[in-house]
């Protein structure tokens, strides 16, 4: 059987290996268990923040890409959001994983290779690793710092686990450090991060994952459910104002990195459920008529005009199955909490996907 996985970038002309730090003695990977970590750097292209911001602000309906939220401060604020009483997704998903981890492991196949897209919450992956006990764990994350810190912690906690950490941007076509012939490939994509992609992009991403997993591969994916708009409203308009600070931090970042002069007091955070699109939208709304300079360009805002900063799609179970099916997956099982707020789906790659996308 030919593997669709690449242990190194596939470009024939590229003779350098992405494997840059292996085993004991590497200063990067020091610590107990370091000999079981291999680090592969696929050099994800850094976002062209300037071009994306200038282009987004020049649109008739201004928008900024949500990936720009996650500078150092934005990542800290997001961590704080996951602890808020109103923000139910993180703790609900953790509860589902705790209650059903063993059934999930039965579905994924114990002893398999487990790939995690975005090595986010260490608690979620610890629950799954304990239940699944895979031979190899392949975390994929765009942040080298975050990836290595979490790989080190997991190597200490799981003494039999081999880790192949891949620094890559999973939202674009990506390679992975897997060996030809490895069977039982499973992927984990928690947090309803899929909800931050517009449906066409979500389909494209899932198609790429199906292609990487190959026929029979499994995907365990967390998906936030469509629900009472009041619950959604509270989750994205928390009483401590952490989500507002997370949203406004985008302007702080633009001021710092692009010599912007956004006045933070002249914009307000707004988040609401758009029922027609089945998504929570976050906006930064101008409180006054004003002009703002960014990277030497001037942008006019009318009072009440907004910048759309994030969409967070909420899916019914059937709707998500239909999206997954378009991407080449069949549904195997769905787990849900008692209050029916969040789902974790086990999907199987239908047929024999072997195409490289």
Stretch that binds ligand AVI, among 34-42, 96-104, 106-114, 189-197 (CB under 6 A): 189-197
Question: Any contact of residue 150 with ligand AVI (CB under 6 A)?
Answer: no
Coil, strand or helix at 124: helix
Nearest distance from residue 171's CB to ligand AVI, in Å? 12
DSSP code per residue over 44-84? PPPP-HHHHHHHHHTSSS-B--GGGG-SHHHHHHHHHHTTS
Q: What tokens does 12 get?
A: 């024939």
Contact by Cβ (8 Å): 143, 165: no
Nearest distance from residue 307's CB to ligand AVI, in Å? 15
Nearest distance from residue 89's CB to ligand AVI, in Å? 6
Contact by Cβ (8 Å): 281, 103: no
CB atoms within 10 A of CB 254: 22
- Alpha-carbon distance 260 to 280, whole Å? 27
Question: Any contact of residue 193 with ligand AVI (CB under 6 A)?
Answer: yes
- Alpha-carbon distance 348 to 332, whole Å? 6
Using CB under 6 A, pick the residue from 112, 171, 306, 312 that binds ligand AVI: 312
Tokens 């292609």 belong to residue: 211
Binders of ligand AVI among 194-213, rule CB under 6 A? Answer: 195-196
Nearest distance from residue 28's CB to ligand AVI, in Å? 27
Nearest distance from residue 179's CB to ligand AVI, in Å? 31
Stretch that binds ligand AVI, among 99-107, 185-193, 323-331, 332-340 (CB under 6 A): 185-193
Question: Any contact of residue 190 with ligand AVI (CB under 6 A)?
Answer: no
Question: Any contact of residue 222 with ligand AVI (CB under 6 A)?
Answer: no
Which residues are CB-contacts of 287 (< 8 A; sequence separation ≥ 6)? 265, 266, 267, 268, 303
Question: Any contact of residue 236 with ligand AVI (CB under 6 A)?
Answer: yes
Q: Give the x/- contact pattern for ligand AVI in 31-70, rule: CB under 6 A.
A: ----------------------------------------
Give me the half-sphere count of Cα atoms (radius 13 Å) on the Cβ side of residue 316. Answer: 7
Nearer to ligand AVI, 141 or 175 (CB): 141
- Alpha-carbon distance 90 to 209, whole Å? 23
Helix (H) or strand (E) segment spanning residue 223: strand 218-224
Using CB under 6 A, pick the residue from 112, 121, 192, 249 that binds ligand AVI: 192
> What is the size of the binding site for ligand AVI (CB under 6 A)?
11
The rounded Cα 217 to chain-centroid distance in angstroms is 20
* Residue ranges in contact with ligand AVI by CB under 6 A: 81, 89, 191-193, 195-196, 236, 243, 310, 312
């Amino acid at each position: 059987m030919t593997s669709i996985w690449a242990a190194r970038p596939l470009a024939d002309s590229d003779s350098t290996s992405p494997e840059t730090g292996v085993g004991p003695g590497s200063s990067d990977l020091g610590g107990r268990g370091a000999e079981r970590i291999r680090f592969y750097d696929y050099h994800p292209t850094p976002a062209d923040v300037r071009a994306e911001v200038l282009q987004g602000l020049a649109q008739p309906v201004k928008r900024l890409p949500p990936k720009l939220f996650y500078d150092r401060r934005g990542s800290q604020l997001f961590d704080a959001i996951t602890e808020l009483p109103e923000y139910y997704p993180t703790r609900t998903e953790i509860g589902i994983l705790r209650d059903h981890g063993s059934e999930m492991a039965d579905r994924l196949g114990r002893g398999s290779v487990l790939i995690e897209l975005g090595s986010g919450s260490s608690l979620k992956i610890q629950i799954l690793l304990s239940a699944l006990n895979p031979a190899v764990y392949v975390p994929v994350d765009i942040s080298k710092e975050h990836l290595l810190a979490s790989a080190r912690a997991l190597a200490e906690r799981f003494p039999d686990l081999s880790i192949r950490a891949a620094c890559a941007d999973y939202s674009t076509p990506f390679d992975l450090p897997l060996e030809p012939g490895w069977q039982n490939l499973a992927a984990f994509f928690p947090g309803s991060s899929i909800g931050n992609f517009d449906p066409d992009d979500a389909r494209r991403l899932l198609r790429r994952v199906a292609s990487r997993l190959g026929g029979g591969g499994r995907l365990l994916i967390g998906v936030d459910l469509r629900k009472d708009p009041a619950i959604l409203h509270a989750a994205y308009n928390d009483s401590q104002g952490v989500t507002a600070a997370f949203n406004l931090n985008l302007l702080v970042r633009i001021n710092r990195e692009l010599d912007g002069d956004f006045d933070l007091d002249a914009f307000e955070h707004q988040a609401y459920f758009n029922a027609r699109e089945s998504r929570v939208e976050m906006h930064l709304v101008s409180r006054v008529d004003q002009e703002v300079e960014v990277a030497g360009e001037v942008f006019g805002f009318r009072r009440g005009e907004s910048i759309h900063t994030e969409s967070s799609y909420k899916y019914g179970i059937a709707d998500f199955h239909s999206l997954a099916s378009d991407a080449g997956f069949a549904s195997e099982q769905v787990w849900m909490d008692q209050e029916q707020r969040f789902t974790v789906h086990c999907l199987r790659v239908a047929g024999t996907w072997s195409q490289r996308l």
